[in-house]
Each structure stands twice: as structure tokens, then as C-alpha cells.
Structure 1
Amino acid sequence: MKTHLIAHTITSPDGSQPPLVQTLAEHSRNTARLCAAICRPLGLEKLGALTGWLHDMGEAAQPVQEHIRQQTGEKPNHSAAGMRWLWEQTAGQSDSVRLAGQMAALAIGCHHSGRCDYLSPDGSRPWLERMDTRQAQALYGESVDAFFSDCCTRQEMESLIQAAALEVAALYKRSKTILPKGEDRQQRQDALQFGLGLAQRFLFSALVDADWTDTASFMGRTPLPPFPSDRQRQATWDLLSGRMERFIRSMEARRPIDLLRQEISGQCLAAAEHLPAGIYRLCVPTGGGKTYSALRFCVETARRQNARRLFYFAPYKSITRQNADNIRRALGAEYVLEHHSDVLFEPDQQDQRERWLALSQRWQGSPVICTTMVQLLDALFAAPRQNVRRLAALAGSVLLLDEVQALPLRHTCLLTLALNTLPHLFGCTVLLCTATQPDLTQVPYPLQFSPDRDLVPDYQARFQQFRRTRVIPPAVQGEQLLPAIADFVAGLLRENRSILVVLNTKGTVNRLFDALAPLMPPDCPLFCLTTYLCQQHRDDVLAQVTRRLGDGLPLVCISTQLIEAGVDLSFDCVVRDLTGLPSIVQAAGRCNRHGDDGCRPVYLIECAGEYLDALPEIHDGREITRALLAQLPPGADLLSPQVIQMYYQRCYSGPRRRLDMQYPVSPGGCAATTMVDLLSSNLRGVQAFLEQGRRPERLKDLCQAFGTAEAAFEAIPDETVPVLVPYGGGKGKLLRLQSAGGTPSLLRELQPYTVSLSPSQCQRLGTALYPVLDGAALALREPYYDSAHKGLSFTPGGMAALVL
């Protein structure tokens, strides 16, 4: 009786039962089928099947079989065999055959690690080195013969190579149109190479997801998850479209501004009824109802295109949380998956938490996914395979990017190149949604909007219709001391019941709070909002503020910019520290939000003593706004689309900023380059390769330094340390964590009771911090947390904090 090659085994704990076995042929077939289905939206079904079939060819060698059967502890390399066989079959063939082989071989060779460079900045080719290790060479011939004897035939795989080459030829043709002919020739070549590289990452993503999914199904003794049929998806979108329309009809027009919001919502629906896949924008003023209008467009577009998913991306978790609630309200909680680190479950909801973890790992199982811009950037560019795995979910989907102006400058070109690629290769529709649309057509790799790019073509007139505030430039030239600003704010209470003050740094907020507190009337509470308050504390403060605003009671709230977006509050008056114009516009959106009280003032001030060296984007934005104020005539409307575009023209001009937009890096001691170059034409790596006297790479070959770029990429530099604080219900949980019964699962329950600090801030706190759970986390001693007002303090008893 023939003994089949095996891929996985499950042994009983006591060894009394014979092991359950999954054959290598079954695992290869299942992975090929899953990978092909994932790649279908890109037109790469055969390439996906080829990659899935060959990914574990190296497991056919006897030493690997002995390891799988637990007869030896040695774990030989089993990724190189399929990689090498594909390379040998395709290296000397036509352009499309060779490129198909490169894409599949790289995915196979890296599927148990991160993607490596195809061509490194120093001119080396690490992927070939992976293929030619001494161990891999010794097992290669045996692996190939055994695999084709037991799993499939050579002829089947050779036929798949030819079919995959036809798909890749069509992909290459589509990639050539990512940037049109009118653009710079090198930029067009960069866009083409970037698109091919992103398609290869997608193939890698599909393989990782298919491999993990089949393995998990076998090990968990569960059937493979089904792919929803076209008919099932269509039925879901029909249902959600009906819910969306009923929800829109249920929103009563109680104010004149509500009628304007309904008109904008109607324009979005009309656009969704005929626009093809592409890149669009929704430019409406703050308070224009853009969340539900944008959602209406996306749901109807998903219904008409029978999209695979609808994604909502926001720059901050606070916005994601609020709008995930809004989306659930419109569509139903059972159809929405919210994915970010602040999603929490009660101790008795362990089953729900495990299901959430499984779905969020793949962005699967729900038609609507609400997550953050960081998660999108990580899926597109970051190294860990968990991030790569999620990329596959984007294909054939509708993507809503909210508050896109908050994107850090260095990610600009990476994102525009990715967004340009998604409609051309991934079949996506993309919507950028904000009141302060950055002019991404003026950046080095311009965004290619669809011809009818504006869902609201008359948006400039809409800004006039929604004008509810006027921005008043600083009355005093130069910086003002905080006591003078406190007097100014206190004076505003004579004519305003509610005042919002937004400053640039946490330290300035705390110092103004201390200066203003003695000046406050007895019936007017003073609130403070910064990230020195844990999330639960901020939520509680916002709840109190919301209640008082709804009841028409007086208050003053001093905050950093965390209140500027995704917070549906309306103050009588706003005071904004000088900063970038988009932040000023967002702050103005918290004033007279519903147009109930004519045209209300937004005062600009300039605080003395702010140190913005560690906040370069705020510093640069402040300088650009200052220069713009000097240029504009008196009385100019700072909230108009024309002035906003003038601001962005300054943001995107100059050699330094244009370089910064391409994400400069100096990887591994190599000379300075950019993330854009590493992921596209890799000019430095190609030049180093040629200088070593090697044959030039052919035009259609891959040339990117994938591994170098992905290792260097950071969506948001994270050098902070989470510190548990004794606020509210967190006090009891902290005590439990310190007790003998404390478990690591309690750390997740304490997520809302954490404050993120830099290492230098932790050092400054010194013995105010203490370890818990055997050093797994740090906690703050109670005298250093002001639960009444300002949160974390660097001195005991809630005395004034002096750090920024």
C-alpha cells in the first residue's frame, strides 16, 4: 500500500489514537483553490492556483516528512523547492512567463517569513540566495520528483504557468495606465513598477491567507470557510441599501441646515447610481452631514458593483469608534466589524472576542469593516505577515477614507501611488472625504481622480450655504502670555455660554487650565481634554460636555486637537491657537454646528512658550498659516475652498517638502533613498547591480527592495509606553491585576485606563511608576493622576504639569 506524503498531523494527547493526517496533495489542492479564489478579482486566478499548488513542494523530501511525522526535531527548509522549480521553468522564457514566475516564486520562497528584496539597495539578490542554500540544494531533486509523483503532474503545472502568464500580461498592460502619458516618464515607470510590486504583495497575501486558513481548518477540525457567492453578496447589499435608505428617510429636517444636508446626501446617491470604479472625493463643509452622505454613496456603489466589502478608514481611533457606532446605527451591528486596539469585550464575552479576533485577522466575515488609516497603511506596506494577510481583503471593495487631510506628510506619495493602483488592478472604488480636501493632484505622484471626481459638483457654493462661523485673525501681533489669554477667554463668557479653546500641546492646555480656573464663574465648569487623560476619562468628560451643551448650560473646555474631528459637539464660540489651516477649519466645525445662531466667531490666538520642535508638522503648518494670513487681504474667508487650496499649494511646494512626501529612508546603513523608490524602480539598487558588472535586468522584471522597505516602514512612529492609571473602574481592575489572581487577560480590560508616554516621560516619573504582572506592564501611583481634571501629572497631588 502506497504511503502518501503528508502536510499536517494531529496526535491525541495521550497517544492512544492513531494520528489524523492531512496529505500534502490535499493541503496543496485546498491552498491552490483558496488562493485562486482570492486572486480572482485581480484577474490572477491561475497565478494564484499555481502559487498555492507549489508553495509546499519542499515538504515532499524525506527529511521534511520525518519532521512532520515527529520522527526528528530538525526542521529543514521547505520553501525553496517550489521557488526554484518555478524559476527554472520560467527564467529564460517570454517577458510575461518570466514575470509570472518571479511573482509566484517570491511569494512561495517567503511565505514562512516576510517578503525579501528582489534586488537590494546594494545590488544583491537575497531571494536567489534563499533558493540556493546548501540544505535546499541537497533536497531539491528529491522534493520535485516526490511531489510530482504524489500530488500533481508536471504537465498540469506547466499548463498553469502558461495560463498565469496570460493573466500577468494583462496585468502589466493595466499597470502601464496607472499614471497617464502626460506625466513624467520616470514617474510613469515608477507607478508601473509600484503597481506590479503591490500586485506581488497581494499574491503573497493571498498565499499566506490560503495557507493559514487551510491549516487552521484542518487543525481545528472545521470545514474550510465558504466564499460568499455573487448572488449571496448581492442579496446582502440589497438588504443594506434598503436599510440605508430607510435610515436616511427617518432623519427629520428640523432646521434649515438639515435641508442642505439632505440635498448633499441626494447628490451622493445620484452619483452612486452611475459612476464606475475609480477615485472620487466628497468635499463638503464641516457640519455638512458628510458621514452619512459618504456612507450612502458607498453602500449604493457596493450594491451596484456587487462589491466584496465596504471599508471605512479614519485617521484616529476616536473617529473610528464614533463613526462605527453611526454606521451600525444605519446598517445594523451584525453587518459591521470594528477593528482597532480599543475594541473591548466583557469578561463573559470570550466567545465573541475569539470570533472578533478571527475576523479581524483577515478582515473577513462582515460586509462592512470599520478600522483606522494606520491599519490600511500597515496592510499596504508593513512587514509582519499578519498585516500582509489583510491586504487580500481589499480587492473588489469600496474604500471610504475619512479626514484624509490628517495623513502624515511622509506617507503622501506612498498613499497616492497605492490609491492609483487600487482601481486599475484591484477593482476598487475609493472615496476621499473631508471638509479640507488636500490637493493631491499637485504632489510628485499625483492622485488620478476619475473624470467626474466630485460627488458634490457645486461644493464651493455649499461652503457659502453652510457658513456659520467667521475666523478672526489674532488681534494682537506676536505671541501672547497665558495670563492674557486666560483673561481674554474669561471675557468671552460675557457673550457666550459655551467656549472651546484648542491649543497645540498638552503642557499649554494644562497651564492655561491653571491660569483660567480662578477666573471662572461658580456656575460655569472648566473641562480639560488631552491624552494625559486615559480614554475612559476622556469619554466621561465628553459625556459631561455633551450633556451641558444639550441643556444649554455654560461651560469652557480646553483641549488639544483631539477634539477637532469626529466629535459632534457645538459650542457658541471657539478659540484656536495658531496652527495649520486644516486644523483651524476642523476647530471651526465645533462652533455653531447646526447654524442655530447666525454667524459665530472663531478667534485665532498665538500662545507664547510653545515648543514645537518635536512636532514638526504642527510647527510647519503654523508657519504656513502665518504666511498666508500676511498675504491675504483683510476680511478674507479662511474657511473657503480657495484659501484652503492656497494653503496646500504652500504645503506641497519646495524641494524639501516634495522629498519628505516620498518617505526618505537610509536603510541598514545604505545611502539615503526613499520608500517610494525602494518599492518602485529602485534606481539605487539597479545602479549598484550594474556597477558590479552584472547583466542589466530586463524592463519587465521585478526590481524592488521589498524587504528593505517593509522593514523600514512605520505608519506612525511608536516609541511610547502604555501606562495603566488609577481612574474610575480602572482602580479595582488594577488591584485585581496586582493580586495573586491577576491574569494577562485583565490587561485588555484595562486598555481604556492607559496613557501613552515617551521613554523620557517615564524616566521623569521615576518611582511614580511601578511594575505589575511580573513586569509585563507599568502602572501609575494614585497621587500622580488627577481624576477630577487633568489626568496624569508629573508631580503628586495634581500640581501643574510643566512638560509639553
Structure 2
Amino acid sequence: MSPSEQFNAHTPRKGSKEWHRLESHLIEVAKLAARFCRPFGATGLAYLVGLWHDLGKVNPAFQEYLKNCATGKPGISVPHARDGAIYAYLRLVKSSKADIWPEIAMPILGHHNGLIALGEASLRLSDYDKNLLKKIIPFADLLPSPKMSFISISDAQKELYLRMIFSALVDADYLDTEKHFAPRNASARGEWTRPSDLWPVFRANQLRLMWNNRNESGVNLIRRQIYNECIHSAKLSPGVFRLMVPTGGGKTRSALAFALRHTVEHPEQHFQRIIVALPYTSIVDQTASEYRRIFGDRLVLEHQSQANVPEGENQEEFALKERLASENWDHPLIVTTTVQLFESLFNNKPSHCRKLHNIARSIIILDEVQTLPPELMEPTLNVLRDLVDNYGVTIVLSTATQPAFDQTPYLRAFQGISIRDIVPRPERFFQDEIMKRVEYMPIRWNQDLDSLADEIGKIDQVMVIFNTRKAAFDMQDLLLKRNVKDVYHLSTLLCGEHRRRILNEIKRHLDIEAPHPIHLISTQVVEAGVDLDFPVVYRAIGPLDRIVQAAGRCNREGQRKEKGKMIIFDFVDNKAPPGAYKTGLDDSKILLERNEPDSLYDPALYSEFFQCLFRDVDLDKRNIQSYRRDLNYPEVAKRYKLIENTVLVVVSSYNDNEGERRLQTYLHESNRETFRELMPYTVNIRYDELKREEIAECVEEVSPGLYRWIGGYDDKTHRGLLGIVRDPADLIT
């Protein structure tokens, strides 16, 4: 008897009587998983993982559960992942392949609830139902029996290798399930354009830009020279690159130009996509919009946030569709946050890991790479090194203030690696008078914020950046009490659509031809990569790289009659986030006290700062590398956090309740398209904020991990969510 006549994988979709047959599902998932793992040589393993992942559905109790789901009868979900993992474990042990059982059995065991620790997996697989196994074996024997061929990997590589196989299984499982339940969505995926095909489109856009600016001089000439050098360096062999140019030097476009041209110069690498990872959502908004103007909407994926998708073995259609809404990065150009990228690389949950296999054979541009947390630097660089060495990835470290990863004895992960400069001798551009658009002033001491507010209120156009949100709020209040007009605020408490509108308003005020007064009081969210051009910038003393990045928002285009003024200030209550940020602030004070302000144009000073920082900070503070070696996936995920745990909150009232309309659309039809539409009206807040009574009263959970904000939202003074003034890290997922 054919197994497809006996067992089902999923119920019929609504309006259909066609069941999803188990045999068909297993074979299709096996083929997909094998294809996904081809770039890193794991096709044999992945095929078996896919072929055996749902063998537990042979269980008569599970088949009865599916029938109840199909007829609307209440039923209790029947776990099945462990039974498939047990079959894999026993078969491998008996076939003298006992040493590779984790790579096959652990992804199967975790494909619904997440990867667990090696020790726990071993215990869970040692106890099994022999009667159920007797039903599984004859069914499994009827499935295709591929020849087992596996590559050898070191223990140090196993943690990421297993996670990649897990990712391929999850994505293959989700895609074949989506094909059954939502064939229209599945057909829309198809085969994407390769990034090498985007190069002619980008080049044409760049030529038009250069033609339109052909009579300009100054900064644009420098940008053109940097761009040309990036194109020339794209011929270099794949690996790790450093793009170091002054703020305002056009590195965002030039980095993409290098990446696109690199895919053309190296067809043998079969690059699948370009991933641009940025630290702040405000830059993600800006960068994704620019790329869409060049390539259109279809080829660019903007991935900022991800709701906490309910994991588990529930097979009801609504639960399956919620899981299918997670992203798998199947686009040629991804614009995302560094949090989304790195926390996924260290995560253990299916919805977060689903995308990981698509990182293989990609080019990753880490924009503003200096913002990576020093306390996580050792595991972060270790994974990047592994991606380069074993997954065909090219890395571009892009920033004006390079962290000197290869110039410090305190980082083991990048020792012995060759980091090549895309722009040779970058210091020449920092010392070029054209790029010295800002005059750095000596550190200014203010007794209190009142005296500083008096000074700032008299300036027509100024941006002030504080280390904490509370200080920014206090300054905004002081200016409003003085009846200063056109006071704006930017922080991570604004939803993306609100933030986008504010930035557009600010840019209109800053128009050199028709200037208007503007006072922007902000947190660090605005100081790296955001395309603003103020004549005067005040920056509370902080880590040296933050000061230099803030200066990049001052006289950015070099078109003002006078140099911009960059004022570094300190005051009595100038508090800073604890840990590496505070350490960086203290190191900066020492360096600035013994160097002239103009030394902030010297890249050697940036290198000295980071060497001091890496010396003073524990670069694996949470002992993550030890847990990675032990294959303890839950503990790694728990410890690797660029920011504390956050929840996604929908701002339903902003823009005439547009957020609520999009939320209702998502709740009615949960898929990745409706989720993307919802994202501009969301804010991430820390999970521990929900424990505060005054905040708990302002939210209501509408689906697992997704909340509606029913408290106050300030779109007048642009503070966003009201009631939250504590300072989370300025990166958000």
C-alpha cells in the first residue's frame, strides 16, 4: 500500500477537500532543504533531515487530530517532531554514523519549538515508544533512500553548521506548507533576480546622478573619486573588506556599488544576495527608500522588526499561517538592522532562524560597524569569520570610524585574517580640506541644562544630541518653556511612519535656499547615517566614535558659506548608559584632553580609541563562546542580545488610526505581506517595561508577542509613546 494513501501531513485548506499527503510533503521538503544547503556542501544531510522531519505524523493519534481539525472538532495537538528525530537517531547509530546524529536529529527535534541543548536532546531521544517506531519504520522504508555522503567539519564549526541545516529545514517546511495552504502566495515567490543583474540598473542610476552633478565641485568630487575606487577594488578576491571614508563621503552608495560590482567580477562565487545591516531604524527607513527608488519595490526587502511568532506543533490553519508570516530573506537585496541579523545568527527559534541559510553566498555590508556592542565582539566576529571561511560570504566593514579589529591583541576571532581597504590610503580623504567641513570646538562645560537651553534657543538651526532620553526630554521642555518655536524630537519611541514624516519636515526646514528655524533635540538614534545637514551640532560628550558620527550631520554637503560648528559639551548630570558605552565615554575624555580638537579628523585617533576600548571591556562578557562549543542553543540565544528583550507594539492612533486599520488587516489575514504593511506603525519596547503598572495599562495583547498601544501618543511635540523615559539601547529590532 502506498504511504500517501494512508497518512496526511496537513488538513485541506479552506474551500478545498484536498489533503496534504505526508509522503509528498516529506519528499518536497527534502528536495528544498538539500537545494538550500548546496552552497555550503550539506545537501546529503539536509535531504535526510527533510525526508525524516515529519515521520512522527504516522502516529494514529496525530492522524485523528488532523481529522478533528478538518471538521472543526476540539482536539489537543499531538507532538510529532521527537518521533522523527528518534528514528533518525537510531538509524544513524546503527549505521555507524553515530558521530553525526546531532546534525540530523537535533534540527528535526527542534523544527517546531526550537533547537535545544545537546545534552537535553540526547536524553529526550533515549526514551521512545517502540510500538510507534514499528509503524514509522515500514513507512520510512518506502521513501527514497539516498546514499549517505557527508562532509567533515571541526567541532568549532559545528554550532553554526547545525543551525544552518536547521534553517534550511524550517524554510523548506514552511514553503511547502505555504504551497498547500496559500498557493497564490507561494507562486508569488518564484526565483528572484540575482544581485549581479542589478548592477546595470544601479550603474545607469549612478551615471544619471553624476551627469546631473557634473558642474559641481567640492564634496561631490570626493564622493565620485571614492565611488570609482570602490568599483576598481571590486575585482579583489572575496573575503573581508574595510570601507573607511569620512562622514558624508557617500559610503552608502559606494558600498552598494562595490557589492554589486563584486558579484559581477566573481560569477564563480554564485552570490545570491546583498544584505545591508544598519544599526538604527531611522537609517533603515532612509536606505531602503533610496534603494527602492533605484530598483523598485519588488527587489528590495526592508526587514526591521519581527513579532514573536508562536512556535509549537499546533497544526490548525490559523497557527500555521502565523508561522508562515516570518521572513526568509528570499530577495536579492535585503535592508535590515544589525539586531535582526546577529540575533538571528545566535537564535534557536524556527521563525528567527528560517532566513539564515540564505546568508550563505551573500555579501554582507555592515554599515556603521562601530556600533556593534564590544561585550559581544568575540562571538560576533567568530561567526563572521566562519561565514567567510565556510559559507562563501564577503563582508564589508563600512564606517568612518573603523574599530581596528585586526590591530588589537584582544580579539582572537580576526587574528591572522586579511582585512583589505576598498579605498586605499583612506586617511588622505580625512585630511583633505574639502572634507574638513566642520570646526571641532574644545569641550565646553555647562553647569546645568538651563544655561545650555539659553544658548541653544538663540540659534536658528541646531541639532543637540544627548546620551539619554531623559536629558533630551528635559532640554525639549526647557526650550518649549522659553517659547522656542520649531522644536523637534527624535527617538525610538516614534513609529517608523511618524519618524519618516519628521525627517522630511526637518529637511525642508534645512533647505539652504529657503531656511527655516529648526531645533532638533535627539538621542543617539540620529547620529549615524541619517542624511541631515545642520550648520551647528551640539553633542554631549560620549564615546569618541559617536562624536565623529554626530559631526557627520553638520555641514554635510559642504555647501554652507562657513564651516559647520561641532560643539562637544558636558554638564553636571550628564549620565550615560552603563557598560561599554560609559567606558567609551571615559576613554574619550582622556583622549580629547591630550589631543587638539582637530585630531578628530585623524583615523589614527579612532584606532587608538578602539584599542583602548577593547582593552578595557570583556569582549565575551556573557561567555557565549563556551555555550556555543557545548551546542547549548537556548543558552546562547538567551545570552546573545544586542538589546534587552523587546515586544512589538502597534501605534493604532497615529495618522488618523491608520495603524489600527493595518492591524485589523493583519489579524484577519496573517501573512508576510500584511505584516510588512503593519511595520511602519510599530514601536519596540522593552519587555520589562510591561511589568510597570502604568505601562501595562497602556497595552493589550492582540496576538502572541504583538500588542496594541492604547495609551497616549504624542505627535505634537514628537515624543511618541508617552510614559516611557527609561533608556534602552538605541538599537531596535
Q: Which of the five TM-score ranges fits, normalised by the shorter chain? A: 0.7 to 0.9
The 1:355–1:102 alpha-carbon spacing in structure 2 relative to 1, beyond 3 Å, is: closer
Is 2:40 the counterpart of 1:7? no
Is 2:100 the counterpart of 1:151? no
- Per the alignment, residue 276 of structure 2 pairs with 312
Structure 1 distance, partners of 2:103, 2:77, is 26
Partner amino acid, structure 1, of 2:635: T
Partner amino acid, structure 2, of 1:556: H
- Per the alignment, residue 33 of structure 1 pairs with 31
Deviations, residues 527-579 of structure 1 (Å, cap 9, x unaligned): 33344555444434322221121123343322222221232111112111111
Q: 1:621 aligns with which of 578, 584, 591?
A: 584
Q: Structure 1-normalised TM-score?
A: 0.77
Q: How does 1:105-504 map to 2 (within 5 A)?
A: 105-118=105-118, 125-135=119-129, 137-148=130-141, 150-152=142-144, 156-157=145-146, 160-161=147-148, 163-164=149-150, 168-169=151-152, 172=153, 193-220=155-182, 233=193, 236-251=194-209, 252-253=213-214, 254-272=216-234, 274-303=235-264, 304-305=266-267, 306-341=270-305, 361-364=327-330, 366-441=331-406, 442=408, 443-447=410-414, 451=418, 453-465=420-432, 466-476=435-445, 480-490=447-457, 493=459, 497-504=460-467
The 1:268–1:358 alpha-carbon spacing in structure 2 relative to 1, beyond 3 Å, is: farther
Structure 1 distance, partners of 2:60, 2:447, is 77
Q: 2:711 aligns with which of 780, 787, 801?
A: 780
Structure 1 distance, partners of 2:162, 2:454, is 60
Contact 1:786 1:792 survives alignment (8 Å): no
Segment drifting more, 575-584 vs 303-312: 303-312
Segment drifting more, 742-751 vs 256-265: 742-751
Structure 2 distance, partners of 1:377, 1:803, is 22
Structure 1 distance, partners of 2:26, 2:663, is 48
Contact 2:171 2:354 survives alignment (8 Å): yes
Contact 1:737 1:772 survives alignment (8 Å): no
Q: Describe the SS at the equivalent of 1:20.
A: coil
How much has 1:268 moved relative to structure 2? 0.8
How much has 1:790 moved relative to structure 2? 5.0
Structure 2 distance, partners of 1:140, 1:762, is 46
Structure 2 distance, partners of 1:794, 1:787, is 15
The 1:48–1:9 alpha-carbon spacing in structure 2 relative to 1, beyond 3 Å, is: closer
Structure 2 distance, partners of 1:76, 1:11, is 18
Contact 1:39 1:203 survives alignment (8 Å): yes
How much has 1:269 moved relative to structure 2? 0.8
How much has 1:625 moved relative to structure 2? 1.0
Q: 1:662 aligns with which of 613, 620, 630?
A: 620
Structure 2 distance, partners of 1:744, 1:48, is 31
Q: Describe the SS at the equivalent of 1:312.
A: strand
Is 2:715 the counterpart of 1:752? no
The 1:195–1:482 alpha-carbon spacing in structure 2 relative to 1, beyond 3 Å, is: same
How much has 1:317 moved relative to structure 2? 1.4
Q: How does 1:758-769 map to 2 (within 5 A)?
A: 763=692, 765=694, 769=698
Deviations, residues 28-50 of structure 1 (Å, cap 9, x unaligned): 22121111101100011122112
Contact 1:194 1:417 survives alignment (8 Å): no
Structure 2 distance, partners of 1:75, 1:718, is 28
Partner amino acid, structure 2, of 1:56: D
Q: Describe the SS at the equivalent of 1:471.
A: strand
Q: Describe the SS at the equivalent of 2:601.
A: coil
- Cα RMSD, aligned residues only: 3.9
How much has 1:314 moved relative to structure 2? 1.0
Contact 2:195 2:333 survives alignment (8 Å): no
The 1:197–1:261 alpha-carbon spacing in structure 2 relative to 1, beyond 3 Å, is: same
Partner amino acid, structure 2, of 1:143: I
What 5-or-longer segments of structure 1 have no aligned partner? 119-124, 173-191, 344-353, 665-673, 683-703, 796-800
- Per the alignment, residue 85 of structure 2 pairs with 83
- Per the alignment, residue 615 of structure 2 pairs with 653
Q: Describe the SS at the equivalent of 2:421.
A: coil
Contact 1:280 1:450 survives alignment (8 Å): no
Q: 2:43 aligns with which of 39, 45, 50?
A: 45
Contact 1:725 1:780 survives alignment (8 Å): no
Q: Describe the SS at the equivalent of 2:548.
A: helix
Structure 2 distance, partners of 1:707, 1:133, is 22
Contact 1:28 1:54 survives alignment (8 Å): yes
- Per the alignment, residue 55 of structure 2 pairs with 57
Contact 1:56 1:78 survives alignment (8 Å): yes
The 1:208–1:70 alpha-carbon spacing in structure 2 relative to 1, beyond 3 Å, is: same
Structure 2 distance, partners of 1:537, 1:222, is 33
Identity of aligned residues (%): 26
Structure 2 distance, partners of 1:758, 1:526, is 30
Contact 1:280 1:453 survives alignment (8 Å): yes
How much has 1:397 moved relative to structure 2? 1.2
Q: Describe the SS at the equivalent of 1:114.
A: coil
How much has 1:652 moved relative to structure 2? 0.6
The 1:59–1:518 alpha-carbon spacing in structure 2 relative to 1, beyond 3 Å, is: closer
Structure 1 distance, partners of 2:50, 2:384, is 27
Contact 2:219 2:557 survives alignment (8 Å): yes
How much has 1:387 moved relative to structure 2? 0.7
Deviations, residues 661-689 of structure 1 (Å, cap 9, x unaligned): 2141xxxxxxxxx1221012x3xxxxxxx
How much has 1:453 moved relative to structure 2? 1.3
Partner amino acid, structure 2, of 1:502: I
How much has 1:789 moved relative to structure 2? 5.8
Deviations, residues 266-307 of structure 1 (Å, cap 9, x unaligned): 1111111x2222111211110000010001011112233331
Contact 1:727 1:753 survives alignment (8 Å): no
Structure 1 distance, partners of 2:140, 2:613, is 57
The 1:710–1:758 alpha-carbon spacing in structure 2 relative to 1, beyond 3 Å, is: closer
Contact 2:178 2:185 survives alignment (8 Å): no
Contact 1:723 1:779 survives alignment (8 Å): no
Segment drifting more, 289-298 vs 601-610: 601-610
Contact 1:572 1:600 survives alignment (8 Å): yes
- Per the alignment, residue 698 of structure 1 pairs with none
Partner amino acid, structure 1, of 2:555: N
- Per the alignment, residue 579 of structure 1 pairs with 542
Structure 2 distance, partners of 1:215, 1:725, is 32
Structure 2 distance, partners of 1:738, 1:367, is 28
How much has 1:499 moved relative to structure 2? 1.9
Q: Describe the SS at the equivalent of 1:780.
A: coil
Partner amino acid, structure 2, of 1:240: L
Structure 2 distance, partners of 1:47, 1:737, is 41
Contact 1:362 1:389 survives alignment (8 Å): yes
Q: Describe the SS at the equivalent of 2:89.
A: helix
The 1:532–1:100 alpha-carbon spacing in structure 2 relative to 1, beyond 3 Å, is: closer
Contact 2:116 2:348 survives alignment (8 Å): no
Deviations, residues 164-187 of structure 1 (Å, cap 9, x unaligned): 2xxx22xx2xxxxxxxxxxxxxxx
Contact 2:81 2:108 survives alignment (8 Å): yes
Deviations, residues 375-407 of structure 1 (Å, cap 9, x unaligned): 112321122210111111111111111111122
